[in-house]
Structure 1
Amino acid sequence: MSVLDAVPVLSVIIVSADSGPSLRDCVNSVLACSTPLELLLIDNASSDGIPQAIARGRENDARLKVIYNRTNLGFGPAVNRAAVQARGQVFLILNPDCLIEQSALQRLLDVLKQEQKAGLVGAVVCDAQGVPDPASYRRDPIMQRALATMFGRGSEGVNATGGVPDHVVDAEAVSGAVMLLPRRVFEWLNGFDEKYFLHCEDLDLCRRVRDGGWRVVLAGDVRVLHGKGGSSRHRPVFVSYHKHRGMWRWFRKFDPAAHKPHLAVVVWLGIWAHFVLQIPGQLRRLMTR
């Protein structure tokens, strides 16, 4: 049986959008793993030429498939399109600025297999100094928690209390940078909600996994290096707009406060006021680079 005929255990899906040189490192880290896998790199109309260069450099590696979109579809829609072409029974959705090692990958697969009713498994994403991102272990961002986070009441906020654990725990949500889930769960959920463009679609997916009767699990003993926003540094206002738009959609779908018109108006005003207030600082940082 040829490599092309073999059915991979795992389909790794990476979405790129002018993600920069870190995309090469991410792809190399995946293809260095010994787990039988395929890698679907789906590109949202990048102009940096890096996906094409990766495709040329890896043209003899049958595990890699590069898919080109003519426009930027957004993160969730791109993952959904790659998933249709995937052959594995387990999906790993990986950010283009993450580095995954074989030991971490195998541990995630083991947790998915061993934990009863696990529908989605996340990892602890860390910066270059090994500091865990608090967003690895989150709770639903309902209005009360979002306000608590904004006003510095951490114990009542969106990020779970007590720091990021170093063992397997149940979570309400995990970081969208590294998400492992069975194909059957992804398909039952109809994948990502495509009305999100960028940001909050991971929170939405975690919530729907739980609403469907499965567990969201954080493998706290798995650490994955995450470079943080390779494609967002050169267009911060664009990314911020879609992040705030995603917040509003999540609120309307899942927060009980959305059923109270007066509260919904306040939340809408707060989200977009926050967006506007961030713009000057984002533009200053962009111009000083």
Structure 2
Amino acid sequence: MQKAAIVILNYNGEDMLRTFLPSVLKHSHYSIIVVDNASQDDSLPFLENDYPQLRLIELKENSGYVGGYNQSLRQIKGEFEFYILLNSDIKVSPEWDLNLITWMEEHSNFAAIQPKILSYQNQEYFDYAGAGGGFVDSLGYPYCRGRIFSSIEKDTNQYDDPIEVDWASGACMVLRSSCFHEIGGFDQRFFAHMEEIDLCWRFKREGYKIGYLGNVKIWHVGGATLSRTNPFKTHLNFRNNLLMLYNNLKKERFLIIYFVRLGLDFLAAFSFLLNGKSDDSKEVFRAHLAFHKLKNIKQNYPLAPILSNKDSNPLRKSILWDYYIRGKKKFSDL
């Protein structure tokens, strides 16, 4: 079995591959596999002509982040001890993959980790997706060291320490392959967005830990496949957040949180409407309807038993209260 594979999922990302593959090739020690999610642009001819040395997995249809990785990682099951999932729009630093894998080898009780993720456009600042390690509050809202909602911190080395977190970002995450296949991979119902938070929550329910390694840096463009201003992203975020809670909480606790979230989500929809984002407002309601359809579809993995609410839910304080009422805009202020 080989040590690790860097697996890059691509969908119509020829421009991103042209820009960032040279950085990955230059600074990486492990095998690189590009998975094409049925691209309609010239990604495949570009890869075949310019990078014939790279292993290429071609999928027949675009099944999103979730389906793309589930299918491709099943194809290489048993070949690698670790998978490094890497977005196509990321610039990496020297020794990045070697440092991440070395840390994982030294911490056998961790199923996943992420590096420090900075913005490619504003390289002294954290990126939206993952930043300095992810957490989940008691109502299911995700936030990060270095990024709470739309407030992004400047990187002043304040989050360079290795710590245990609630979730690692799917933009760049190392997975212990045995753990990934043991719990059945990503939940196929998610398609994209928050699937990595659900995965990490399920890892934790199995007794594994999730980590953040702050001395390894990468730079992420973000929104390369689906823009952050696209209403479909709003739909996926609201829908999948509810599905994540449904998957990982006891029924009684989920129902309590769901009724609270009904009010908060409808407030969010009203806020979208006031700000001229009527399409986003509609997607909040559609997301709730879609959630109720999805929750009755059997998941494609075995669910670990929930031993107690305390064990299954991070039960952090309310990040909404801290951010909007107490005015705490930085993780260090919490």
TM-score, with structure 2 as normaliser: 0.69
The corresponding residue for 1:287 is none
Paired residues of 2:245 and 2:254 also in contact (CA < 8 A): no
Q: 1:213 to 1:97 in 2, by over 3 A?
A: same
Paired residues of 2:86 and 2:173 also in contact (CA < 8 A): yes
SS of alignment partner, residue 225 of structure 1: strand
- Structure 2 residue 55 is matched with structure 1 residue 65: yes
SS of alignment partner, residue 190 of structure 2: coil
In structure 2, C-alpha distance between the alignment counterparts of 1:234 and 1:219, rounded to whole Å: 26
Paired residues of 1:122 and 1:218 also in contact (CA < 8 A): yes
Paired residues of 1:174 and 1:203 also in contact (CA < 8 A): yes
The corresponding residue for 1:127 is 119
The corresponding residue for 1:142 is 138
For residue 79 of structure 1, report the CA deviation from its aligned partner. Answer: 0.6
The within-5 A match list for 1:71-90 is 71-86=61-76, 87-90=79-82
Identity, in percent, stands at 19
Q: Which amino acid aligns with 1:70?
A: K
- Structure 2 residue 150 is matched with structure 1 residue 167: no
In structure 2, C-alpha distance between the alignment counterparts of 1:88 and 1:197, rounded to whole Å: 25
- Structure 2 residue 34 is matched with structure 1 residue 41: yes
In structure 1, C-alpha distance between the alignment counterparts of 2:168 and 2:183, rounded to whole Å: 17
In structure 2, C-alpha distance between the alignment counterparts of 1:282 and 1:178, rounded to whole Å: 32
State the number of aligned residues.
264
For residue 10 of structure 1, report the CA deviation from its aligned partner. Answer: 1.4
Q: 1:100 to 1:258 in 2, by over 3 A?
A: farther
User: What stretches of structure 2 of length at least 5 have no aligned partner?
Assistant: 281-334
For residue 232 of structure 1, report the CA deviation from its aligned partner. Answer: 1.3
In structure 2, C-alpha distance between the alignment counterparts of 1:25 and 1:15, rounded to whole Å: 15
Q: 1:49 to 1:252 in 2, by over 3 A?
A: same
The corresponding residue for 1:4 is none
The within-5 A match list for 1:97-116 is 97-116=89-108
In the TM superposition, structure 1's runs of 4+ consecutive aligned residues that sit over 6 Å from their partners are none
Calculate the aligned-residue CA RMSD, in Å. 3.3
For residue 268 of structure 1, report the CA deviation from its aligned partner. Answer: 4.2
Q: 1:237 to 1:52 in 2, by over 3 A?
A: farther
Paired residues of 1:89 and 1:184 also in contact (CA < 8 A): yes
User: What stretches of structure 1 of length at least 5 have no aligned partner?
Assistant: 1-6, 285-289
In structure 2, C-alpha distance between the alignment counterparts of 1:170 and 1:200, rounded to whole Å: 19
SS of alignment partner, residue 163 of structure 2: strand
For residue 170 of structure 1, report the CA deviation from its aligned partner. Answer: 0.9
